[in-house]
Amino acid sequence: MRRLSLYLFFNSILFAIPILTYGSQMDSLNRGSPLQQIFEKDYGTSKATLEFVNFAAQETKKDTSWLKIGGAIRLNTIYTHFEGQTFPLGTELRNDWTWDTWRINVDSYSDGLQLSFEYRFYPTFNTHFIKYGWIGYRFNPSTNLQFGITQVPFGLLTYASHSWWFTTPYYVGLEDDHQIGFNFTKELENWRLNLAYFLLSEPRGTNELSFGVPASARYSYDVVPVPGNTNIERRQLNIRAARLLANGELGLSFQTHEVYNQETTHTGRQFAGAIHYENNWGKWNLKSQIIYYNFQDVRDDSDEVLSFVQMGAYGFGTYDVAAEAAMYTIGLSRDIPVSWGPIRNIQLYADYTYMQKFNEIELNGTTQGFAPTHMLVPGALVSAGKIFCYFDIAQGMNQPWISDIFGGNALGTGRGVDYQEPISPTNPISNKPAWNTRLNINLGYYF
C-alpha cells in the first residue's frame, strides 16, 4: 500500500507539471507574448541576482502569465584561523565539506497578480524556515504592492554586500531583513519611493534545540525572546526614498518599530536611519552607506533598561547587539568576463564595515566604552553555467560568526581579555582583540 501511494504521488506530480507548463504557454500565446517555460530563468553573475530571485516583482507587464520553479543546492567548506589558532582538517563542522543548504523557489504571475516564495533547509544544523513568501499586485509598470513576508525597504537594496557573507548590518537586522506586512513601491520620474508596515517579524521555522532557542530558527536577524528577556519586534514602519541616477541611486531610509516585552508588557522602541549610494561604471560597482540605529528604553523581564539586545537567526544561540551604534559600509566589485570552458564571469570584490558603538559599561569604578567591530571580506564569485562558487576570505574583529566562540558579546561590549568569558571586573573589554580569518568556499548549483 505504501509503495502504491508513493507511486500515485510521484505520478500525479509528473502529470501536473505538463499541465502547468501547458497552461502557462497557452496563456502567453493567447496574449501574443513570448513562451514562458516553467524552469526558464537567468540568475545573472552577481549576488543581487543570484540570491534574491523574486522574478514576480521584476515583471512589469500586466497582460502576461507564467510560472517559474527553481532553487539551489549548495556545499560549503571552511579553513579557519581564530584567536591565534589554526584548526586541523576535519574538525567537527570545520575544514570539511558540509551540505550548506538547499532551497526551493516558486514565482508566479498572471494579469498583474504576483506570488513569490522561498523556503530554505540547512541540513548540517537541522534547521529550516521560510525566507520570504508574498502575494502582490502590479497596478502598472511604476506601482506595485506586496503583502506577506517581504523584504524590508531599508538602505541598499537588494544587498549592501557582494560576498556570500553580507556586511555587518545584516547581523543586526538591517540588511536583507524580512517581516510580515506590506510593502508599497511607487516610481515617479527619477524617484523610487517605498512605504511599508510590518505587524511582526517573520514566523520562526524549525531548529535543533541543542544549537539554540526555537525563536532563532529564522533567516533574518531579529530581537528574539530568551529566558529572562522576552522581547520581540512588532509594529514596524519603513519609509525609503531613492533618487535614480543614470547607473545607480542615492537614497535615504527611515525605520522604527516597537520592542515589546511579553512578560512585563513594557514597550521600548528602535529607531534607524540610513543614507546610501550605489553606482556602476562599466564593469565596476560601488556600494556605500551609513547607518545609525538606537534601541530606546528596551527592558528585560526584571524591568532593567538594556544596553544591548538579544538577536538570533539560523537556529543558533542568540548574541548581544549594542543598543546604539553607527555603521559605515563600503564595497567595490569588478566583473571580468572570461571564456574558460564553462566559466563565463569572475567578479572580484571587497566589502568592509566599521561598527561604532555608543554604549558604555562601568568596571572597577571606571567607565569603558563598547569596543568597535570590524569586518572585511575580499573574495570572488565565479559563474559557470548554472554553477556558482563564492571564494571569500572573511576577516573580523569582534564579529560573532568569525570567532572560535560563536556569538556572545562580540557585537555588544566586544570580547574580553579572555575572549571565552563574559565581561566582568576581572575580565575587562580587550583593547587589542584578535583579527580572525576564515577562508570560506561555497559551491552551488542553481536551477
Mean of the pLDDT values across residues 234-253? 97
Residue indicated by cell numbers 550548506: 100
Give residue 85's pLDDT band: very low, low, confident or very high (50, 70, 90).
Answer: confident
| CA–CA distance, 59 with 213 (Å, rounded to integer) | 39
Residue 91, amino acid: T
Residue 24 above 60 pLDDT? no
64 against 41, higher pLDDT: 64
Give residue 89's pLDDT band: very low, low, confident or very high (50, 70, 90).
Answer: low
Give residue 336's pLDDT.
Answer: 98
Residues 198 and 220: beta-carbon distance below 8 Å = no
Contacts of residue 47, Cβ cutoff 8 Å, sequence gap at least 6: 159, 161, 162, 163, 164, 381
Min mean pLDDT across 10-24, 79-93, 395-409 is at 10-24
Residue 182 above 60 pLDDT? yes
| CA–CA distance, 240 with 244 (Å, rounded to integer) | 13
Percent over 70 (pLDDT), the chain: 90
Mean of the pLDDT values across residues 50-68? 88
H, E, C per residue of the chain = CHHHHHHHHHHHHHHHHHHHHHHHHHHHHHCCCCCCCCCCCCCCCCHHHHCCCCHHHHCCCCCCEEEEEEEEEEEEEEEEEECCEECCCCCCCCCCCEEEEEEEEEEEEECCEEEEEEEEEEHHHCEEEEEEEEEEEEEECCEEEEEEEEECCCCCCCCCCCCCCCCHHHHHCCCCCEEEEEEEEEEECCEEEEEEEEEEECCCCECCCCCCCHHHCCCCCEECCECCECEEEEEEEEEEEEEECCCEEEEEEEEEEEEEECCCCCEEEEEEEEEEEEEEECCEEEEEEEEEEEEECCECCCCCECCEEEEECCCCCCEEEECEEEEEEEEEEEEEEEEECCEEEEEEEEEEEEEEECCEEEECCEEEECCCEEEEEEEEEEEECCEEEEEEEEEEECCCCCCCCCCEEEECCCCECCCCCCCECCECECCCCCCEEEEEEEEEEEC
Residue 23 above 90 pLDDT? no
181 against 4, higher pLDDT: 181
Mean of the pLDDT values across residues 307-334? 97
CA of 433: how far to CAs of 48, 171, 215, 403, 420, in Å? 33, 19, 30, 11, 12
Give residue 383's pLDDT band: very low, low, confident or very high (50, 70, 90).
Answer: very high
| CA–CA distance, 76 with 441 (Å, rounded to integer) | 6
Give residue 93's pLDDT.
Answer: 59
Residues 69 and 105: beta-carbon distance below 8 Å = yes
Residue 30 above 50 pLDDT? no
pLDDT, tens digit (0-9, with 9 covering 90-100), for 348-375:
999 999 999 999 999 988 999 999 999 9
Buried b (16+ CB within 10 A) or exposed e, 396-414: bbbbbbbbbeebbbbbbbb
CA of 387: how far to CAs of 72, 296, 346, in Å? 10, 45, 12
Give residue 9's pLDDT band: very low, low, confident or very high (50, 70, 90).
Answer: very low
Residue 102 above 90 pLDDT? yes
pLDDT, tens digit (0-9, with 9 covering 90-100), for 192-235:
999 999 999 999 999 998 888 999 999 999 999 999 999 999 99
CA of 176: how far to CAs of 48, 87, 131, 220, in Å? 11, 31, 10, 7
Residue 3 above 50 pLDDT? no
Mean of the pLDDT values across residues 427-443? 94
Fold of the 46-446 domain: Porin (2.40.160)
404 against 163, higher pLDDT: 163
Nearest CA among 203, 237, 198 for reference residue 220: 203
Q: Taking all residues of the chain, what is their mean pLDDT, rounded to a whole number? A: 89
Give residue 172's pLDDT.
Answer: 98
Give residue 37's pLDDT.
Answer: 60
**Residue 123: CB atoms within 10 Å:** 12
Residue 306 above 60 pLDDT? yes
pTM of the model: 0.89
In the numeric block, which cell numbers belong to residue 117? 516564495
Min mean pLDDT across 34-38, 156-160, 342-346 is at 34-38
Give residue 22's pLDDT.
Answer: 32
Give residue 38's pLDDT band: very low, low, confident or very high (50, 70, 90).
Answer: confident
Buried b (16+ CB within 10 A) or exposed e, 416-443: beebeeebeeebbbbeebbbbbbebbbb
Residue 2 above 90 pLDDT? no
Q: Which residues pair with 179 in a beta bridge?
A: 150, 201
So where are the chain's domains? 1-38, 46-446
Give residue 20's pLDDT band: very low, low, confident or very high (50, 70, 90).
Answer: very low
Opening angle at CA 190, ends 186 and 195, nearest 5:
25
Residue 26 above 70 pLDDT? no
